[in-house]
Amino acid sequence: MDSKQRSNYVTSIADNHLILGQRLGELCGHGPNLETDIALTNIALDLFGQTRSYYQYAAQLDDAFASEDAVAFLRKEHEYHNVLLVEQPNTHFGFVIGRQFLFDAYHLLLLEQLQYSADATLAAIAQKAIKEVRYHQRFSSDWLKRLGDGTEKSRKKMQEAIDALWRYTDELFEMTPIDQLAVDAGIGVDLHALRPMYYQKISEVLEEATLVLPETNYFQKGGKQGRHTEHMGYLLADLQYMQRTYPNMDW
Amino acid sequence: MSEKELINLEQIFEERIERDEKIEPKDWMPEKYRQTHIRQISQHAHSEVVGMLPEGNWITRAPSLRRKAALLAKVQDEAGHGLYLYSACETLGISREELYQQLHTGKAKYSSIFNYPTITWADIGAIGWLVDGAAIINQVALCTTSFGPYARAMVRICKEESFHQRQGYEIMLTLCNGTEAQKAMAQDALNRWWWPSLMMFGPKDEDSPHTAQSMKWKLKRKTNDELRQQFVDQTVPQAAILGISIPDPHLKWNEASGHYNFGEIDWEEFWQVVKGHGPCNKERMEARVGAWEEGAWVREAAMAHANKQTNKKVAKAS
């Protein structure tokens, strides 16, 4: 695996955090109460912190990127390799929690392996992030249970969100050629191996939340190849607005 | 309680304040003191929470990852300030729901400054520099106010606010050392935020009927006009370092007084914004009321879930 490929691997992990952080950032000041507002902002902050560590490393590995900001702001839509799940909109609080929960369960499993990466920088980033993501998972699981096993209305809304987001879960475990190269080089994570543990964890929490495990077996993919949902263009229009309107300036 | 006993209590109360003792929630206090504090502390809490909106507006569009994280952290601090202040207010015997109700119905006010729009990135710098700068001047005086929970909340808030102010000034400095387009953005922001910032200190002393009582209770240590002058004196040299000009043709150093003279505030605009006719009063209230109403099912679910958990524990124990 050459250093450009390694940089691609690193950004493909971090793109998920950037895009999910961006979605959470939209909510700041609009949460159902101050406590959840603060907690979701905290999660966004953790995700952006992780994004910066990964992107700084990616920029070191690939001369095409002048800085972390070049990685974050100056790519075309098809060059972002995040999964479709994280770009899904904040339809209502049930979707926010559902998206977070479905991502956190994956994220924690990923980091638990990535901390043993032969790449010392990746291992260090993962070791730091793992503590944060444990908290994220606790937060999203707790809320999933509150909303699932709360009122009739909340159960319906939470189930609606899980049903709608379910079709984006399988993509989390898709292995791209870069993922495979990273596994072969001993620095990456074998995502196929995480899949059974993931669905096991998800079904346990859903059961506790008195929610039904969706039965859909048809899944949406494409994010990891840079083919995104219609939501992504709008998200990037906001994200890249300043860098595109005022190119080559320091902020 | 007889009238004589009441007079006695009031006298003891006033003497305690005179000696700079803190009044704590369980202590006896005159009803007017309680009401004034509920009004002021809740107004302050509401300002923190409504203040999240104009800045939150730029989180998704911040120009770099570092700025994005810093802005998120700042807006989160404001939510935290809102929390301490609501808690301080609750010690006076009012619930958070009632306080929100007062905000949402327009009964309670919040700082008018947040009814101005944030239309460029430089506004985020200008808010940190000017609005947080003005807030600190108002708030430092409150660190020694007579009501204990408010004074303690203020100590913590002031520390964070001064960090925010430095951060805002640093955004302005970066813009002013940048390209022509960036410097123009900074100047435009100063043009729009200067006068509303001066308005943050409230009406002129002669039009501020509560000042005398508030000074007595140490809810105010200096008058509106004194604080405003302090802000002008402190900010003019900062603008000079930035190399941008303050939009006031009457601004002039006065050797004799040792202060800057400055022009007249547009009081008509001040009162219009207070009365709800500012550029964004409607949007701010819609956003707050919207978040509250859309969050109702979430709060109800959390409550229902907590009750179920308690019932399960009780059932297990019995």
- Name the pTM for this structure: 0.95
Predicted local confidence at residue B6, as pLDDT = 78
Q: Confidence band (pLDDT; 50, 70, 90) for A216?
A: confident
- Residue A135 tokens, joined: 């908290």
pLDDT at B318 over 80: no
Predicted local confidence at residue B208, as pLDDT = 86
Mutation for B interface: A27, A34, A160, most B CBs within 10 A: A34
Mutation for B interface: A37, A75, A96, A147, most B CBs within 10 A: A37
Architecture of domain A3-245: Up-down Bundle (1.20)
All structural domains of chain A with their residue ranges: 3-245
Inter-chain contact A242–B121, Cβ cutoff 8 Å? yes
- Cα–Cα distances (Å) from B287 to A238, B57, B236, B281, in that order, read 20, 11, 34, 10
Chain A residue with minimum CA distance to B307: A150
Q: Span B163-170, mean pLDDT?
A: 96
Residue A176's CB is within 10 A of a number of other CB atoms, namely: 15
pLDDT at B7 over 90: no
Q: Which residues of B touch A45 (CB under 8 A)?
A: 69, 72-73, 76
Nearest to A246 among B83, B181, B297 (CB): B181
Q: Span B193-198, mean pLDDT?
A: 98
Q: Span B97-125, mean pLDDT?
A: 97
List the 2-61 stretch of B: residues with Cβ below 8 A of A: 49, 52-53, 56, 59-61
Residue found by looking up tokens 């992780």 in the block: A50
Inter-chain contact A69–B64, Cβ cutoff 8 Å? yes
Show Cβ contacts of residue B193 under 8 Å, excluding neighbours closer than 6 positions: B116, B123, B126, B127, B130, B131
List the 52-81 stretch of A: residues with Cβ below 8 A of B: 52, 55, 68-69, 72-73
B178 touching A (Cβ < 8 Å): yes
Predicted local confidence at residue B75, as pLDDT = 96
Phi, psi of B23 (to 5 degrees): -95, 125
pLDDT at B1 over 80: no
pLDDT digits (tens, 9 = 90+) for B268-297: 999 999 999 999 999 999 999 999 999 999
Inter-chain contact B182–A157, Cβ cutoff 8 Å? no
pLDDT digits (tens, 9 = 90+) for A167-185: 999 999 999 999 999 999 9
pLDDT digits (tens, 9 = 90+) for B98-109: 999 999 999 999
Q: Which residues of B touch A144 (CB under 8 A)?
A: none
pLDDT at B136 over 80: yes
Mutation for A interface: B57, B59, B74, most A CBs within 10 A: B59
Q: Which residues of B touch A139 (CB under 8 A)?
A: none
Inter-chain contact B182–A31, Cβ cutoff 8 Å? no
Q: Which residues of B touch A145 (CB under 8 A)?
A: 305
C-alpha angle B102/B108/B114, rounded to 5°? 120
Q: Which residues of B touch A33 (CB under 8 A)?
A: 295, 298-299
Q: Confidence band (pLDDT; 50, 70, 90) for B316?
A: confident
Chain B residue with minimum CA distance to A234: B60
Predicted local confidence at residue B221, as pLDDT = 84
Nearest to B304 among A51, A92, A151 (CB): A151
User: In this structure, are residues A122 and A10 in contact, taking their beta carbons and an 8 Å threshold?
Assistant: yes
Predicted local confidence at residue B216, as pLDDT = 86
Show Cβ contacts of residue B142 under 8 Å, excluding neighbours closer than 6 positions: B150, B151, B154, B219, B221
**In the predicted model, what is the mean pLDDT of chain B?**
95
List the 178-237 stretch of A: residues with Cβ below 8 A of B: none
List the 89-148 stretch of B: residues with Cβ below 8 A of A: 121
Residue A14's CB is within 10 A of a number of other CB atoms, namely: 26
- Give the rounded distance of the alpha carbon of B313 from its chain centre: 42
pLDDT at A218 over 80: yes
Q: Which residues of A touch B303 (CB under 8 A)?
A: 150
pLDDT digits (tens, 9 = 90+) for B45-82: 999 999 999 999 999 999 999 999 999 999 999 999 99
- How many residues are given for chain B? 318
Q: Span B15-32, mean pLDDT?
A: 94
Phi, psi of B259 (to 5 degrees): -135, 170
Nearest to B72 among A31, A41, A238 (CB): A41
